[in-house]
Amino acid sequence: MVSVLQEVNPTDPLLRHVGQQIVETANKLLESSSLPKYKITNEVIDLAIDVYKTFNLPFPVLKDREMLLPEALPQYDIISGLNYIAAKQAEHYKSDSERSKLAAINFMVELMKNAPKQLAEELTSGSYGKPKNEGQQQGKQQGKAQQQGQQKGQGQGKQQGQGKQQGKQQGQGKAQQQAQQQGQGQGQQQPNLRELGKETGAEAIDITNKEMEIKGLLDKIGGGAGIGSEFTTTSEGIEMLNKIAMNTNVTQLLQYLQSRNRLIDEVIKRLKTRQLPGRGEITGIKAGRELEHMIPSEMVYLSDEELQQQFLLRYAEGQILQYERKYIEPSSIYVVIDKSGSMGGDRIMWAKAVALALLLVARREQRDYFVRFFDDRPYPVQYLSRKFSKKDFVKIFTYIASVEAGGGTSISAALEAAYRDIMSKKYAGVSDVILITDGEDTFDVNSMNELKRKAKARLHSIGLQDANLETLKLISDYTYRVRALDDKNGLWVSLV
C-alpha cells in the first residue's frame, strides 16, 4: 500500500474504505456509459486515496520522487499533475469531504476515459502499480540490442567481424539509452502522465462544480428539504446526480430556475397562502397522554422525585398537556402545463421551472404529484407517489426538462383529464390543480365546476403575461397573472 503524498497513511481502514467506495462508484458510472471498468486492487485504491486527499488536504505535499519505487512513479506523475490544477481551480474543495469525494469519483471516471492504451490496460487488468520483472525486461532489451547490432554490422561491408562487434556495441548503447529515457529504474518523470493528471483534474473539477450547483439548487427550491444531499451520500445518488449534470436539458432548466428563483418563490408563496396544505399543523393545546406531543414545560415534572409522582398520576388520568394537531388528509398536487406554440422560449422554461419547484413542495409535504403537458390534446400524465425514490425523481425531472413547445391549445381537455386522474385515487383531502397557460379556451362552466367538485380539487390558474383569464376565472378558485418572467424589482405575481 503506497501513497505519494506526505502525511497520508494508505493503510488507515477508514481511508481505504473511502478509496474503495470511490473506485466502486466510478465503476458504476463507467459501466452505465459502456466503458471499461477498473480492476479493484490495492494499487488502484491507493491511487483513489491519493486523488481524494489531493482535493481534500489544505496543502498536499508530494514525497521525494527519487525515493519512490519504480512502480509508484506513474501514480506520482498523475498526482503531481492533479495537485497543480487543484491548487489553481479547487481551493474551495479543501476540507470539504463531500465535494472532495465527488471530485475524486469524477477524476477516476475521466482518467479511464483519457488514459493512454497501456495505462488503461493496466488499470483494467489489475497489473497497475505491480513491480515489473526486471530480469525479463533486461533479457528482451539485450536481445533486441544484439539484433539491431547485427543488422547494423552487416551493413558495413567488408569489415564483417569488426562491424558485427561495433554493431552490437552501438545497439546495446542505443537500447540502454532508450531504457533510460523511459525511466526504467532511473526515476525520470513521465511528462505525459503529469499532463494527463492536469487535464483529467480540470475535467473532474468542472463536472463536480456542476453537480454541486445542482445539489444546492435542489436543496434551495426544495425549501430546505435536503433532497440535494440525498444525491451525494450513496453511489446510486451520485450516479443519478452525474446523469443530471450531463443532461443539457436539465442543466439549462436548473440554470433558468436559478436566474428566476425569486419569481418562482413568489408563485409558491402565493399558492401556499391559499391553504396549500402542509403536514400536521399545531392548532392548540389539549390534555392527553401522547408523550410525543407533550409541551416542553411538562418536562419540569420529571426533574424531581415528588413531581414525577404527580406526573405519573396525571399521565394515568390523561391530563398531560400536549399540542393539538390538525392532520391534513392525503391529497395531491397536480400541475397542468400549456406547451402550445405560443409558449416557446422563456414561457415554457418558466412553466417547467414552476413544475419542478412544485415537485419538491409535494415531496416536502408528502403529497402525491402529477404533471401533464397539453397543446391541442393532453399528453400522458407523469405520476409520483408521496414517498417517491431518487430514481423516480430523476425520471420525472428529466421528462419535464425535455418537453418542447408546439401545437394548439385545449385547456378543457387537459383539466378534465386531471380531475379524472385525481378521482381515480379517491383522496380524502383536497387536491390542488395548478394550471399554467398563456392562452384561452371555451368551457362548459357548469360541467367543469361539477367535475372539479367531485374530484375535491381547487384550481389555481396562472396566466402568463397577456393571457386572457376572464373565462378561466369562472372555473378557478384562484387566478393569478404573472406580469414579467424576470427577477427585476416589483410585483411579478398578482391575484386577479
Using alpha carbons, select from 143, 156, 158, 179 the residue that is nearest to residue 70: 179
Beta-strand (E) ranges in 249-331? 281-288, 320-326
Residue with cell 546495446: 172
Range name among 47-61, 69-83, 134-148, 441-455 with the lowest pLDDT average: 134-148
Q: Above 50 in pLDDT, residue 136?
A: no
Give residue 491's identity as a one-letter amino acid code: L
Do residues 115 and 128 touch, judged by C-beta distance below 8 A? no
Q: Round to whole Å and give the CA distance between 337 and 411.
A: 9
pLDDT in tens, 400-420: 988 999 999 899 999 999 999
Residue 253 φ then ψ, to 5°: -65, -40
Residue 273 predicted with pLDDT over 90: no
pLDDT, the chain, mean:
79
pLDDT of 250 reads 77
User: How many Å apart are CA 263 and CA 269, to the nearest integer?
Assistant: 10
- The answer to which of 173-177, 194-198, 435-439, 469-473 has the lowest mean pLDDT is 173-177
Q: Is 33 helix (H, G, I), strand (E, B) or coil?
A: coil
Distance separating alpha carbons of residues 14 and 45, to the nearest angstrom: 12
What percent of the chain has a predicted confidence (pLDDT) above 90? 37
**For the purposes of burial, counting CB atoms within 10 Å of the CB of 28, is it exposed (0-12), middle (13-18) or buried (19 or more)?**
middle
CA distance 151 to 147: 6
Report the SS3 class of residue 478: strand
pTM beyond cutoff 0.75: no
Place of cell 381515480: 424
Q: Phi and psi dihedrals of 317, rounded to 5?
A: -90, 0
CA dist 292 and 345 (Å) reads 50
φ, ψ for residue 40 (rounded to 5)? Answer: -75, 105
Check residue 183 and give its pLDDT.
42
374 bridge partner residues = 338, 378
- Return the higher-pLDDT residue of 251 and 114: 114
Per the listing, cell 498526482 goes with 79
Q: How far apart are CA 43 and CA 439, in angstroms?
A: 63
373 three-class SS: strand
Provide mean pLDDT across the span 12-27: 93
DSSP labels, 80-118: HHHHHHHHHH-GGGTT-HHHHHHHHHHHHHHHHHH--HH
pLDDT at 103: 93
**Radius of gyration, CA atoms only, the chain:** 33
* HEC assignment per residue over 395-461: HHHHHHHHCCCCCCCCHHHHHHHHHHHHHHHCCCCCEEEEEEECCCCCCCHHHHHHHHHHCCEEEEE
**Facing residues of 462 across strands?**
436, 480
- Cell 520522487 belongs to which residue? 65
Residue 355 has pLDDT above 70, yes or no: yes
Distance CA 206, CA 199 (A): 11
Confidence of residue 109 (pLDDT cuts 50, 70, 90): very high
pLDDT at 272: 58
**Region 253-262 average pLDDT:** 69
Q: Cα separation of 211 and 197, whole Å?
A: 21
Instruction: Give the model's pLDDT for residue 279.
Output: 47
pLDDT classification of 55: cutoffs 50, 70, 90? very high
At residue 144, the 3 state secondary structure works out as helix
Q: At what angle do helices 13-32 and 97-114 cross, to 10 degrees?
A: 50
- Rounded to an integer, the average pLDDT of 235-264 is 72
Residue 21, pLDDT > 60, answer yes
Chain-centre distance for alpha carbon 172: 56
